[in-house]
Each structure stands twice: as structure tokens, then as C-alpha cells.
Amino acid sequence: MPVKALITGITGQDGSYLADFLLAKGYEVHGVVRRASTFNTGRIEHLYQDVHENKPGLRLHYGDLADGSALRHVLERVQPDEIYNLAAQSHVRISFDQSEYTADIVATGTLRLLEAFRDYVDKSGKAAKFYQAGSSEMFGAAAPPQDENTSFHPRSPYACAKVAAHWYARNMRESYGLFVANGILFNHESERRGETFVTRKITRAVGRIKEGLQEKLYLGNLDAKRDWGFAGDYVEAMWLMLQQDAADDYVVATGESHSVREFIEVAFGHADLDWQKYVEIDPRYFRPSEVDYLLGNAGKAREKLGWTPTVGFEELVLRMYQHDWGLAIREKFLADSGFRER
């Protein structure tokens, strides 16, 4: 019998890489997807198989972290061995505009799923395991380098909600002895990153500017520093956390930090463009309170999980730029052929 995993947030960046990773290991993967009026499954399209033609390794179920009874139904139906809670309103800037919603999904939504998990383990008698997607944003204003012993000082509604979710998860472990692991992941990026996060916004713009499809790139604070890794590496750390004998909390990071300005310089450098001619500051992208400097110490993950990142900063930027330049070339071809407006 294959091991069964249930992933919330499977249509997101991390969910899609985790699904790739688990399917390659022979897992039966189940994902929770939200109903939307447009397709939201683009990142997992390559994994889709028609249920009528095949016995697919990947199966999708409608659900939402706002809907506790739907989550319970999915758990009962799927009977998973491992649950990865990746679903979230994950945009920090937007969490200032939608703070109650962010709290409902990120904090209370996690609690809903944890409570459903508790009852599911109780009824099924399965030694199922739970991964909670925590974030370096929880450290916020805490001085770098940050590790598992650093105190949280969240700086946004998103980060406050992630701190609550972290403690709900930890409390579930301490109260009931359930296997609940918290990952505290620093920023991780890829060519599947949402296009409003700063790295992808930059690499998309560089490709489009190079192809003459865009003239300017408007950004906010260029001085913020982040410890950026590759998402494909980070989903392996999630899985490793659930393969241990006991549940614990782990920081996952590269141990290298760069400013937004440095990211811009490297990305525009690949296109042989002078970034100063194209980048403009638009205060609308400033945050009411900023996280200035994140730099993770993943010593515990290295020692206990045997995890190390394989993609460094320069390679990450190059990978994203090359992908997005390719997208821009296609976009230009369609525009020049009259199939699409510039």
C-alpha cells in the first residue's frame, strides 16, 4: 500500500513542488483545492491524470481552511498518513489590507485542521503525522541570525497569525502527544513563485524589459534583506521532518542573506541591462511595518535531518531569470504575430 499524503495549498508554489516530490517517492497524493471561477490548478497541471483513464497518483478534493466540516470530510475520506498544511493567505503586504481574513485562514484555519486531525487520529487509531508551514516572518524584528531559540517579534497580521498557528500546533503536540512538526522556513523562491512576490516580480520584469514589452519596474523598499533559497529544496525538509521518530520544530534556511537591491542587480545583470534606468520606487509597495533583516541558522535541520540546500543565491536568480526570459520571448512572439496585445 502506498503512503498517503494530504496537502492543503497544493495549488501554490510549495504544494506543487511537494506533490512532485512525494509522487516521485511513490506516495498517493491528495490535495485540497478551493473552488474558483477560473482555473487555479496551473502549477499542478503537469501532474493531472484523468480519473476515467487511469488510477491517478494525484487526487484533488474541494475544501477550504475556512470550512472545518469540509476538512473533516476530506480527512475521513482520504485516511492520510501524512498531512502537510501549506494553505494560507501568504502575502505579507496584503495581510495589512485583509487582516481578519488572514487571521481566519492562517491562524484559525490551522486550528480547524489540527482539531480535525486530533479527532481523526483518535477515531482511526493511525499514527498520522502533521506538518505546519511556519515562516521566518514570525521572527520579524528579532536580530539576525535567527534560529529555533530566537524569540518571535512578528511585524504584520500575516506574521502574527503564523505565530498563533505555530503555537496551536505546538500545543497540540504537548497536550495530546500528537506528531505535529513546525517548519520555520525562510523565503524560498522558484519559477513557480507567485508574480507579486518581489523576486518573481523582478525576474518577470527583467525578461519583459529585455524583450521590449515593459518600460519600468515599480518597487518598494530595496534595503530589506532576505535569506532566499530554492523551493524545491525546502519541500524535502518538510518531508524529512515527518520521517523522524519524534516531532520537533526546525528552521530551514540557506544561511546567506541579500538585499532586494542585490537581487535586482544580479537579475538585470543577466540581461545586460542597467537596472537604475528601469527601477522606480512607488511608496504603495512600502509596508506599515517592515522586516529588515532575515538570516537563518539551519544548523539543527542540517544535524538532525541531514538537510542542506542545493541551490545558492546566484543560481536561483539565474534559474528564475532564464525561465521568465523564455516566457517573455513567447509573449513577444504572440504579440508580433497578432495573437496578443503587448
Nearer to ligand NAP, 207 or 296 (CB): 296
Could you tell me the smallest distance in angstroms from the CB atom of residue 27 to ligand F7E? 25
CB 291 within 8 A of CB 171: no
- Choose the binding region for ligand NAP from 34-42, 138-146, 265-273, 275-283 (rule: CB under 6 A): 34-42
Could you tell me the smallest distance in angstroms from the CB atom of residue 66 to ligand F7E? 18
Between helix 109-124 and helix 68-78 the angle, nearest 10°, is 40
Side-chain-side CA neighbours of residue 279 (13 Å): 22
Residue 135 designated active-site: yes
| Partner from ligand F7E, ligand NAP, none contacting 101, C-beta within 5 to 8 A by type | none
Residue 156-195 contact track with ligand NAP, rule CB under 6 A, x = bound: -----------------------------x-xx-----x-
Active-site position among 135, 136, 156, 257: 135
Q: Is 18 in the site for ligand NAP (CB under 6 A)?
A: no
Could you tell me the smallest distance in angstroms from the CB atom of residue 162 to ligand F7E? 7
In the region spanning residues 65 to 104, those forming contacts with ligand F7E, defined by CB under 6 A, are 90, 92-93
- CA 212 from chain centre, in angstroms, equals 31
Could you tell me the smallest distance in angstroms from the CB atom of residue 338 to ligand F7E? 32
Please state, in angstroms and as integers, the Cα–Cα distance from residue 319 to each residue in 148, 196, 204, 217, following that order.
30, 18, 12, 20
Between helix 13-24 and helix 231-242 the angle, nearest 10°, is 60
CB 316 within 8 A of CB 189: yes
Which of 112, 226, 270, 332: binder of ligand F7E (CB under 6 A)?
226
Helix (H) or strand (E) holding 250: strand 249-252
CB neighbour list of residue 18: distance below 8 Å, 6 or more residues apart: 7, 10, 84, 86, 235, 238, 239
CB neighbour list of residue 53: distance below 8 Å, 6 or more residues apart: none
Residue 158 designated active-site: yes
- Choose the binding region for ligand F7E from 71-79, 123-131, 215-223, 327-335 (rule: CB under 6 A): 215-223
| Partner from ligand NAP, ligand F7E, none contacting 92, C-beta within 5 to 8 A by type | ligand F7E
Q: Given the C-alpha cell 483545492, which residue does it identify?
A: 33
Cα separation, 339 vs 333, in Å, equals 9
Q: Are strands 129-135 and 82-85 parallel, antiparallel or unpaired?
A: parallel
Letter string b/e over residues 37-67, b meaning 16 or more CB atoms within 10 A of that residue's CB: eeeeeebbeebeeeeeeeeebbbbbebbbee
Q: Is 202 in the site for ligand NAP (CB under 6 A)?
A: no
- Choose the binding region for ligand NAP from 3-11, 74-82, 143-151, 290-298 (rule: CB under 6 A): 3-11
- Choose the binding region for ligand NAP from 85-93, 112-120, 122-130, 311-319 (rule: CB under 6 A): 85-93
| Partner from ligand NAP, ligand F7E, none contacting 93, C-beta within 5 to 8 A by type | ligand F7E
Cα separation, 244 vs 82, in Å, equals 12
∠ CA(6), CA(106), CA(308), 5° rounding? 60
In the complex, the residues that contact ligand NAP under the rule CB under 6 A are 8-9, 11-15, 32, 34, 36, 40, 64-66, 86-90, 105, 133, 135, 185, 187-188, 194
In the complex, the residues that contact ligand F7E under the rule CB under 6 A are 90, 92-93, 135-137, 187, 196-198, 201, 219-221, 224, 226, 260, 285, 287, 290-291
Q: Which residues are catalytic, by number?
A: 135, 137, 158
